[in-house]
Amino acid sequence: MWTNFFKLRLFCCLLAVLMVVVLVINVTQVEYLDHETVSATFIDSSGQFVSSQVTGISRNPYCGYDQQTLSSQERMEEDSLLAALHRQVPDVGPVPFVKSTDPSSSYFVILNSAAFFKVGSQLEVLVHVQDFQRKPKKYGGDYLQARIHSLKLQAGAVGRVVDYQNGFYKVFFTLLWPGKVKVSVSLVHPSEGIRVLQRLQEDKPDRVYFKSLFRSGRISETTECNVCLPGNLPLCNFTDLYTGEPWFCFKPKKLPCSSRITHFKGGYLKGLLTAAESAFFQRVSLCHPGWSAVA
């Protein structure tokens, strides 16, 4: 009986020692993983990785896309996209709202509206914009969208807009189907509003922000994520290893970067526009004499 009791105590002692050894090994691995993750995810203002021992240094806002190394093909693609997005907006200084483009007093006419068109022919529309004082504008830069459509055929097509930088625009449509077409031209943003958007793009590139959830056991933390993160806090680097697309999150206070489990959109920064600037953003169709073309 005493022999069995001694064997049982010895087995329990050995089991307890084994559990302690396993616990120590796991804690050591977790600490090592946390140290490795933190060390590989802190980035200074020069874009270089630094160790966790220097987390107190001052950092400037870090924009990952500024640090990318692009191939010649990627650079050509980037230049092509930027050229397509570029809009020639004249720098005329601050403009009051009454001198901005007024869609209700602006108008367009269909050139050669009495001509006979065939499928494949080109239809031209001349647009003239005026301000809220019904005075012709002397510069361009407005964002116009133009289309032809047929309610009967449920068909539509967009037009190519040419800005003459003097308040006149010409729109070119290709007639793709037979029958009557209606022409519509809408003012998406006046040139004055586009200048406001350009300023926001330069001053607030992070006005749309995202978040990630980090979780380990019972501990959960949510931090902000973006391509460009301001401030002096340490970052987690989630740049795509295959595409090289940069992405960063503020590092959680208690958790390693490797504990991220989900990602979602946070929202939009609000209150960035003044009341005068907000007035520029209205999408309205321009007046037209009701012409229709026959193809």
Distance, in Å, from the CA atom of 182 to the CA atom of 150, rounded to the nearest integer, reads: 6
Contacts for 187 with CB less than 8 Å, ≥ 6 apart: 101, 103, 106, 129, 142, 143, 144, 282, 283, 284, 285, 286
pLDDT tens-digit readout, 151-187: 888 899 999 999 999 999 999 999 999 888 889 999 9
pTM listed for this prediction: 0.60
Asked whether the beta carbons of 288 and 69 are under 8 A apart, the reply is no
DSSP string of 102-170, one letter each residue: EEEEEEEEETTTTS---TT-EEEEEEEEEETTS-B-S----EEEEEEEETTTTEEEE-EEEE-SSSEEE
For the stretch 245-250, contacts whose Cβ atoms lie closer than 8 Å and that sit 24 or more positions apart, written own/partner, are: 246/64, 246/65, 246/67, 246/68, 247/64, 248/43, 248/62, 248/64, 249/212, 249/223, 249/224, 249/225, 250/223, 250/224, 250/225
Largest CA distance in the chain: 116
Question: If you search the block for the tokens 């931090």, which residue do you land on?
Answer: 223
Give me the count of residues in the chain: 295
Handedness of CA 269, 272, 278, 284 (dihedral sign): negative
pLDDT tens-digit readout, 249-270: 999 999 999 999 998 988 877 7
**Up-side HSE of residue 55: CA atoms within 13 Å toward CB?**
15
Question: Residue 54 pLDDT more than 60?
Answer: no
Percent of the chain whose pLDDT exceeds 90: 29
Phi, psi of 255 (to 5 degrees): -120, 155
**CA 145 to mean position of chain CA atoms:** 21
Across the range 129-140, mean pLDDT stands at 93
Question: If you search the block for the tokens 């019972």, which residue do you land on?
Answer: 218
Question: Residue 49 pLDDT more than 80?
Answer: no
Q: 81: helix, coil or strand?
A: helix
Q: What is the tally of helices (H) and strands (E) in the chain?
A: 4, 18
Distance, in Å, from the CA atom of 150 to the CA atom of 232, rounded to the nearest integer, reads: 56
Per-residue pLDDT, 171:
96
Of 100-104, 139-143, 228-232, 240-244, the one with minimum mean pLDDT is 228-232
Q: Residue type for 94, please?
A: P
